[in-house]
Structure 1
Amino acid sequence: MSTSYSIRQTSSTGGSSMGLGGFGGGPSRFSSVHLENYGAPNMFGGTGGRGVSASKTRLVSGLGSGLSNGYGGDFISSFSVGGGDVFLPGGEKETMQNLNNRLASYLEKVRSLEEANTKLEIQIREWYQKQGPGPEHDYSSYYKMIEDLQNKILAANMDNARVLLQLDNAKLAADDFRTKYENELAIRMSVEADINGLRKVLDELTLYKADQEMQIESMKEELIYLKKNHEEEMNALRGQVGGRVNVEVDAAPPVDLTKILADMRNQYEIMAEKNRKDAETWFFSKSEELNREVATHAEQIQTSKSEITDLKRDLQGLEIELQTQLSMKAALEGTLAETEGRYCMQLSQIQDLISSVEAQLADLRSDMERQSYEYKVLLDVKSRLEMEIATYRRLLEGEESIASSKKDVSQTTRKVRTIIEECVDGKIVSSREQVHHSTY
């Protein structure tokens, strides 16, 4: 719907022929100024977007020179002065036409800027709607399921780690039993070697004992042989003594053979007993020494075996603990790598979000700066329009003041009738008429 105001003004002047510029003689003049609504409510706040125009029959020349620095050079003019019977001087008519063109240009510029502002607001609203959070979904029902699944995954990981640890412990125990078996086998072979060595020593001692027994037997046989010889000699001597002849011979005293044989027997028995005792003493001493050495070596071997067993047990415990720590370290490293990967992904997502928000902020800042610049331009245009409207007002008021200040010889009576019609879509809605009387 377009609304327009039409102001028609007629003036009649009566008086002597000495009026200004040929305005005497009572001719009637009619002028019309028509201004349509261009939809600029922001520029003229109190009029609701409707343009208001006023026209006088006369304007003071020189307005174009004072307002020549305008903005209407590149806009389409839509503000015109109607009525071909306006009797204005050439300079005033051109000035009026220039001002009308510039005002129309300003209104056209305001309309285009408002349309651009409306489009920009729509774009900003659409952008905020697009960038706003989407419809929120209620995932609270899945939280418990997710938590249960996470707990199950954690429990499965713990069970897997426990099974792996038990498997490693079983492998270590098998290795330990294998090592113990090898150690026991080595100890058994060492003991068998010692037993074989002791058997060799026993065989040597048995041979030595048999040799000594043979020596004893030979000495006994020799003793028996000596006894037999002694008895034979004794019997022979007794037989010789049986046919006794008393012969007295002066000779040395005879040798007592019995005593000599007894002494020899005693000496042989003493020697045999001594040799037997020496052999027994040597055998027992060697046996005791060998037993002591065997016992000492056995104790040392047993002590060494105990120490080796303790050390192996400690080594096994340390190896098990080492494997446990290594498994724990591997699990912690895997958890750390997973956590680092997850947080790196979250950090990259947050950085992407920050970059997107920063880009949006930069775009918004540039849009705000552009809108601020356009707002300043609009304020400048508004101020200039207000200045030109004020200039119109001063010109219109100045015409009356100039007309009243000039003196004329004759009295002139001027009657001005102004008809204001409001048209909506080409139809006259209301019409008002004002009549002004002025005397010169």
Structure 2
Amino acid sequence: MTNPCRAFSGGSLCSWEVAGRMSRGRAAGTSPERRGCGSPTAMLSGAYDSLGLSGAGGYRRSSYPSFSIDGRLLLPVHLDIDPDFQAMREQEKEDIKLLNNQFVSLIGKVQSLEQQNKILTTRWNFLKDQDNSHSESDIKAIYDQYMSKMNQEMKALSYERENLELELTKVLDTMDNFRSKYEDEIRLCSGMEYTFTELKKDLDVSSLHRTELEVKLHGLQDLMDLKKTIYEQELEELLTEIKDVSVVLGIDNTCKLDLSKIVEEVRAQYEALALRSWEEAEALTRRKLNEGNTQAATYGSHLLDSRREIADMNIQIQKLRSCIVSQKSQCLYLEENIKEAGEHGETALKDAKAKLVRLEEALQKSKENMAHLVKDYQELMNIKLALDVEILTYRKLMEGEESSMESPIPTVISAILSSPKYCKCFYSYSSLEHNAKEAFLVPLSRSLLSLHLQPPPAL
């Protein structure tokens, strides 16, 4: 795209040269009477006054009306584009395409149905034309025959329906019987299970009682052995005591001895001693037996308590094992759920990152498009301002031409410039035209600098 300021400068130069040539042509073709009107100095000053110039190389305030530029055009443009607008437009386009396709398919279906209708009507007309030979009686007979056939089929179907209903009732009855039997079996099974549990409890109680009796039997056997040993020891002690007894007898030779009486006394003493020792041994054995019974009772109660505790501990162990198995299964299930959740989270995170990247790319593209649009808008505004300035320049040139046609023509100054490096160029300018160009382009360049635009190069 060409620079609008350069285009303006080239166009303005061409317009200035054309205007100069036109003014020089008019000056060459004017009459002597017009040339003689006034001095050249007066005509030059009048031309300066008409263009708003004063002095040589200086300028005063222009008499032509000043132009103003709307300040709103210089404000930055805020192009707030809704990101959902394009998506909505695309969705609307897709919906319209879908509806158009559906409408086209419906039209095709309607056309096909119309064609089928036409084919059927033609076929019907053809069949009607072929069947004109048959009379109404033949048609009625055919109709009656068809109706009788249909009635027979209906009767057969009704008979078959009745048979099927009977079979259905039989099947339902048998199903009810089987259901009642099944319920009876379930009740019997539940009763047997209950009796089994009761018998199991009785068996446990009887086994505990048996163990108690066995413990008592072992205790009694031990007690009998203990008593036997005690009795044997006491008997041995008594025998030893009896052997060690020494009897000292005094014999009175003077008197007669009654040996029977002495033997009876000794026997009575020995019997009293044996009875006393027997009572002591029996009391000792009874005391030891009572102590053994009490110890056996305590040991039996402790044994029963320990067995009950063992049974309770076994039950608790089974419960804990089942709880451990269930907890392990729950742990495995939770680990699988955690793993699946982690995989889903990773996939969701990857999708979100991909969407974020796509959104960032779309945002970058939209920013680039926005920058291009703003740049194009600024270029168009620059072109518009340049065109406005050029239009104003042409207007001033036209006004200058009109004023020059009304005012006397100044003298034409021709200059020939030569250069050793380049070819010779002839420039023929009017002094008024040159000064008017300088006087117009200086304020124009200042106004363009105030508008932050590139001014045209000064001639």
TM interval, shorter chain, is 0.3 to 0.5
Max Rg structure: 1
* Higher helix proportion: 2
* Higher strand proportion: 1
TM-score (norm 2): 0.38
TM-score (norm 1): 0.39
Bigger RCO (CA 8 Å, 6+ sep): 2
